[in-house]
Amino acid sequence: MAEDEEIILADLPDDELVLQMQDDLYDGMKEEIEEGVNILLERGWQPYDILTKALVAGMTVVGHDFRDGILFVPEVLLAANAMKGGMFILKPLLIETGAPRMGKMVIGTVKGDIHDIGKNLVAMMMEGAGFEVIDLGINNAVEKYMAALESEKPDILGMSALLTTTMPYMKVVIDTLVAEGKRDDYIVLVGGAPLNEEFGKAIGADAYCRDAAVTVETAKAFIARKHNQMTAG
């Protein structure tokens, strides 16, 4: 828009509003996202449709551009924060309507490690993709992971480490799962700067995820495979 007119969201027809919301999400405009969500709700949209068509679709573009180096962490955090604003309105409604979820993830940084930007990014992007995320925060001992898996019954366990000294702790958690006969109950995804694919394989994780965008794609692929196995079985 050459003359930089103010866009009145309420004046836009549904399809244009959804596209505008995707743009606003990309630009990290939280208030506009909240307004857009409320407008669509007033127009009789189902919460799940708003989540998938406006928010998840917008975050998918953010995820791809982050993966391809077009967007960087600060922009993604802004977009994720805008998404959070929309999710705050939709979450209670989604629970009420029993909307389908992609799956559930428990995530946390391992014991001895207090870094959380990467983990927070993954948690936000996973929520943006329609997953339910239980974030255990930083410095998690094996007991805390096991208790969360027991109480939350997630599909996925995500562990993050940013130090070469703390990354071996991931193996402690996976070995404990194996010892208790529960390893096959969960998809285990690991990530963090010092890790690589070889390390992920060596400790028995299902996959090493390079960044938040890759985590979402990997999680979706594993969940799809899980559903196929269930329907086939």
pLDDT in tens, 131-151: 999 999 999 999 999 999 999
| Residue 11, both tokens | 């004046």
Asked if the model's pLDDT at residue 2 lies above 80, the reply is no
Compute the residue count for the chain: 233
CA angle 138-67-214, nearest 5°? Answer: 55
pLDDT in tens, 181-203: 999 999 999 999 899 999 999 99
Domains located in the chain, CATH noted? 9-97 (1.10.1240.10), 104-232 (3.40.50.280)
**Mean pLDDT in residue range 203-224:** 94
Gap between the Cα atoms of 233 and 144, Å rounded: 32
Greatest extent of the chain over all pairs of C-alpha atoms, in Å: 66
Query: Residue with structure tokens 């919460």?
Result: 47
Q: Is pLDDT larger for residue 92 or for residue 104? A: 104
User: What is the 8-class DSSP label of residue 157?
Assistant: E
User: What is the 8-class DSSP label of residue 110?
Assistant: B
> What is the predicted pLDDT for the residue at 128?
79
Q: pTM of this prediction?
A: 0.78
If DSSP codes are grouped into helix, strand and coil, which group holds residue 13? coil
Number of neighbouring beta carbons within 10 Å of residue 114: 11
| Residue 92, both tokens | 């209670």
% of the chain residues with pLDDT over 70 = 97
> What is the predicted pLDDT for the residue at 4?
56
